[in-house]
Amino acid sequence: MVSLPTEKPCKEREATHYDRDSTFNVFVGKGQLIAGMDQALVGMCVNERRFVKIPPKLAYGSEGVSGVIPPDSVLHFDILLMDIWNSEDQVQIHTYVKPPSCPRTIQVSDFVRYHYNGTFLDGTLFDSSHNRMKTYDTYVGIGWLIPGMDKGLLGMCVGEKRIITIPPFLAYGEDGDGKDIPGQASLVFDVALLDLHNPKDGISIENKVVPENCERQSQRGDFLRYHYNGTLLDGTFFDSSYSRNRTFDTYIGQGYVIAGMDEGLLGVCIGEKRRIVVPPHLGYGEEGRGNIPGSAVLVFDIHVIDFHNPSDSISITSHYKPPDCSVLSKKGDYLKYHYNASLLDGTLLDSTWNLGKTYNIVLGSGQVVLGMDMGLREMCVGEKRTVIIPPHLGYGEAGVDGEVPGSAVLVFDIELLELVAGLPEGYMFIWNGEVSANLFEEIDKDGNGEVLLEEFSEYIHAQVASGKGKLAPGFDAEMIVKNMFSNQDRNGDGKVTAEEFKLKDQEAKHDEL
């Protein structure tokens, strides 16, 4: 409640005198009242109550008022002052909460969202946005508000609370609003500013943490994985990827997210943290969405976990090569290696070092993701390298449940420990020397013209043991031998005859022998 300064002249003030259910509105000291009432009202405060006794000479004298006030009557008035203002008054502003940081204040043509309680000078409530549980949203300074409110809101900060007192000639004037506000009423608005923007605003970006090493910045068409907290300008929380324990994954620059985020996510580094402030015309507009109110400015605090482009291939960085690095891995070779697997943000996923055993594969056989298969090629024993694998060459959009997030870029730190040369493509067994001209007879030890699986297997393993033959490394030897036998057993009767038996160069469609 606001009272007028006592030192201000009382002449030409208007006062209201309570009479039943309506006020009496009049200027003081301008001859509109009897002399005694003019004197009695001077110095009164709003909500002050006075009992006034006025002698006839300062009232209606010896004549009285015909039919109402007898001549020479002493008048008694019970006065309650409801409102007071002066034609020279201006909008009064009292700020009682000011945020520590105020980067921007309301200017003409800004769009604002605020809560308010509206009262008269005597404290009577006539309206409240709080009761409606909805902010009042409007442009400032372009005539959408009463003139006093247009003036009273200028210069406010988000988070500021102020009391704006408006004289009636800058409010609803002599006629009031025709509903709740009577004519000639001074208005008091207790305002809390929640949000402001200008239709000409773009996004604003505040870098919080920028990594020292930023080899690559995000571009249009990249796919990002990032965490975020989403709030309104006044700090009201509306969403968080952290609460879901899952990153938000999206393409940028292609309309998959609101326009302000599409722009704000460009040029980020992996590991970067930034604040992106998005005006509503680049956010969810006048309608809002879910628990985001219409015309709301949005604040996103983001942390970029990783990003890639669908056109990316693997990246290989060699950290160490031994002096003799002449034998390089190729398709079909059997490899034993150690690795640490992590995400781009350094989160460790797996480690053979921690398990205390190597990871063993046949290169090019589909035993690892395609990016790892590519990253292990042309590597020598003892070499150490880092292989970065985009998700389309890793575990894709699905990831591995509970182990690898979907659409994650993977980082493998690798050390190759052993390499066993594979066989030429298409072969599972080769001879290391000349093939005997009597090969079938050598396999058919009992000379009955038929070779059973047991005879075949015993012979092949003997050749491998003596160094005359070689099975493809990294595969189940018994399974290879069984497949070789099955390919020779053309009629499937469980035995191979001399007529069925052929070497690879005699029948190119088979891989055995």
Tokens of 86: 């002066």
The amino acid at residue 357 is: K
Find out whether 268 and 300 touch, Cβ atoms under 8 Å: no
Q: Based on the residue annotation, tell me whether 111 is a catalytic residue of this protein.
A: no
Q: Based on the residue annotation, tell me whether 189 is a catalytic residue of this protein.
A: no
> Would you call 501 helix, strand, or coil by DSSP?
coil
C-alpha 284/C-alpha 55 separation (Å) is 69
Q: Based on the residue annotation, tell me whether 226 is a catalytic residue of this protein.
A: no
> Would you call 488 helix, strand, or coil by DSSP?
helix
Residues with Cβ < 8 Å from 290, sequence gap 6 or more?
238
Residues with Cβ < 8 Å from 63, sequence gap 6 or more?
71
Find out whether 358 and 337 touch, Cβ atoms under 8 Å: yes
Find out whether 447 and 441 touch, Cβ atoms under 8 Å: yes
List 300, 429, 459, 501, catalytic entry: 300
Q: Based on the residue annotation, tell me whether 300 is a catalytic residue of this protein.
A: yes
Q: Based on the residue annotation, tell me whether 96 is a catalytic residue of this protein.
A: no
**Closest by alpha carbon to 459, among 426, 487, 429?**
429
Q: Based on the residue annotation, tell me whether 252 is a catalytic residue of this protein.
A: no
> Would you call 339 helix, strand, or coil by DSSP?
strand
Taking the alpha carbons of 452, 454, 460, 466 in that order, is the dihedral positive or negative?
negative
Count of beta carbons in the 10 Å neighbourhood of residue 474: 18
Tokens of 142: 């372009």
C-alpha 377/C-alpha 419 separation (Å) is 11
Tokens of 115: 């809560």
List 190, 239, 301, 345, catalytic entry: 239
Chain-centre distance for alpha carbon 410: 22
The contacts found for 444-448 with CB under 8 angstroms, 24 or more apart, are none
Find out whether 308 and 290 touch, Cβ atoms under 8 Å: no
List 84, 258, 305, 361, catalytic entry: 258
- Phi and psi (nearest 5°) for 352? -70, -30
List 60, 116, 189, 228, catalytic entry: 228
Find out whether 302 and 276 touch, Cβ atoms under 8 Å: yes
> Would you call 354 helix, strand, or coil by DSSP?
helix
Over its C-alpha atoms, the chain yields an Rg (Å, rounded) of 45
Count of beta carbons in the 10 Å neighbourhood of residue 122: 17
List 18, 77, 126, 238, catalytic entry: 238
SS3 annotation, 81-134:
EEEEEECCCCCEEEEEECCCCCCCECCCCCEEEEEEEEEECCCCEEEEHHHHCC
Taking the alpha carbons of 361, 364, 365, 370 in that order, is the dihedral positive or negative?
positive
List 172, 284, 334, 459, catalytic entry: 284
Q: Give the single-character DSSP code of 432.
A: S
Residues marked active site are found at 228, 238-239, 258, 284, 300
